[in-house]
Chains A and B, each alone.
Chain A
Amino acid sequence: MNSLISATNINVIKSGKAILKDVSIKINKNDFITIIGPNGAGKSMLLKCIMGFYKPNSGVIKSKINLKLGYMPQNLDIIKTIPIMAKKFITLKKKFDKISLKKVILETQIEHILDKQLSVLSSGEMQRVLLARSLLNNPELLILDEPAQNLDVSGQMLFYKLLQEIYSKRGLSILMVSHDLHLVMISTKQVICLSNHICCCGKPQQITNDPEFLSMFGNDMAQIMAVYQHANKEN
């Protein structure tokens, strides 16, 4: 079976409001799925259900037995008050061998910041440290929740480029929530447009012509994306 996780007809109702309505999603080997959608669309909730943090009101979630999952949060809850070095954080409560650690450090280019305190890292460095930790146990599926939200534009581009490299080298699957669709266009294979229910999904090129996508993000977004697609083809 190729499927790593499949969620079928997920419904989440919180204080009388439907957060997720009949959402189904399937993540296969080597997939790169990006979830987009407005604030409050239930994107993070969907990730929580898929990772088993939250039990949906109805629906079935099946995952491959012993699926190795890596999760990269947007940022840490607490970094200022606790003195902890990047290296210590990456390996905290992880089972790993030295070779994987070395590999991860090289991949995410964090060798020079390993001995720094988390509290002094820049946002870009912090994201790479979080990514390194999520990769340490060689996950089959990497789940990222708005990984580049705290970065500036050039930082975002660097981060997505790094992600693309890791995706193609490791051959893992990626499920990501991101607003930066124009930047992830090149890598992502499938886009799911979520607004409490799945509005549309498909290849990035397809969904920009979808009427539901246009009504949600407007023509401007579609045009921006068209420009990026164009540039990409020329490259």
Chain B
Amino acid sequence: MEKIITDPFIIRGIIAGIAVALVSGLVGCFVVWRRLSYYGESIAHSSLLGAGIGIIIGVGVNFGVVFVCLCFGILFLWLQQSKSLSSDTLLGVIAHFALAIGIIVISFNKIKIDLHAFLFGDILTVSQSDIWGMYIGVIIAVTLILSNWSSLVLVTLDEDLAKSEGINPLYVNVLLTTIMTIVVALSLQIIGLLLITAMLIIPAATSRRLVNSPEAMVVVATLIGIFSVIFGIYLSVKMDLPSGPSIVVVSSTLFFLSHFFSLLAKKE
């Protein structure tokens, strides 16, 4: 077993998984606070189309994913302003439209893509250069969030209050969308597009009960994410399971445990 874990493929997978956890804990807190989980899901759904287009044009999967997700993210942001239909309906329409074209595009004969790996993640596909790319993404996303931290929290609490103090909520929302897009692109190889939102929500939701400040929630969510990635990949290697679902099972178990213990603590 020791041998398998120290295999370079697995080590790369774990290092890449930690990259995912470093951003998803941070961004996930905003997703939980602002109830954006469906928004995150919608961005993730458009990533398949991004991958397809990236391969067809020849710019590579990651670049295609970032570009297409960003376009859809901004489209969703615009749709959310609409009043005639509720935003979750509109998101539902566009997200599944994007997913449908994505599947059609990658089913073209000349594109050789492992759909299973895209949906559920496959750590064996992570290369050395992928890891460099991922950590560059992590540095960009974390820097953007930390340098705008108090503005982001204030807009989250109340948009009008933020406006009255000179913060432009649109700027903050576009920023958050950009970062969510980076997270989706990062997570695709490890978690798979079906489960990306889980990586955003579950560690943050688990952490919510344990802390009393926004900063602490981010730190605990990140730690939970890192633990889930390491333990999840260990399980997936040991039992030959897909990596994404294994990571999500670990983090969900932590969520239910924390829920259970906080209920017990309340009763006492």
**One of A87-95, A162-170, A182-190, A196-204 contacting the partner:** A87-95
In the complex, whether A215 has a CB less than 8 A from a CB of chain B is no
Q: Does B129 contact A (CB under 8 A)?
A: no
Q: Is the CB of B211 within 8 A of A83?
A: yes
Dominant secondary structure at the B interface: helix
- In the bound complex, residues from chain A placing their C-beta under 8 Å from that of B151 are 93
Tell me if A88 and B164 are in contact (CB < 8 A): no
B156 adjacent to A71 (CB under 8 Å) = no
Secondary structure of the A contact surface, majority rule:
loop
Picked from A79, A85, A94, the residue with its CB within 8 Å of the CB of B157 is: A79
Q: Are A78 and B214 in contact (CB under 8 A)?
A: no
Interface residues on A, range: 20 to 34
Q: Is A99 an interface residue (CB 8 A)?
A: no
Max chain A Cβ within 10 angstroms of own Cβ: one of B34, B153, B156, B160: B160
Tell me whether A71 and B164 are in contact (CB under 8 A).
yes
Question: What residues of A have a CB within 8 angstroms of the CB of B150 in the complex?
Answer: 92-93
| Cβ contacts under 8 Å, A82 to chain B | 33, 153, 156-157, 214, 217
Q: A81-B32, A82-B156 known; A73 and B212 CB under 8 Å?
A: no
Contact A93 B161 (CB under 8 A): no
Within 8 A of B (CB), among A108-149: 117, 133, 143
A76 at the interface (CB under 8 A from B): yes
Verify A81–B33 contact, CB threshold 8 A: yes
Q: Which residue from A77, A85, A92, A143 sits with its C-beta under 8 Å from B153?
A: A92
Contact of B214 among A53, A71, A84 (CB under 8 A): A84
Q: List 27 A-B contacts (CB under 8 A).
A: A51-B164, A53-B160, A69-B164, A71-B160, A71-B164, A71-B165, A77-B157, A78-B156, A78-B157, A78-B158, A81-B33, A81-B34, A82-B153, A83-B208, A83-B211, A83-B213, A83-B214, A84-B153, A85-B212, A85-B213, A89-B157, A92-B153, A92-B157, A93-B165, A93-B167, A94-B165, A117-B212
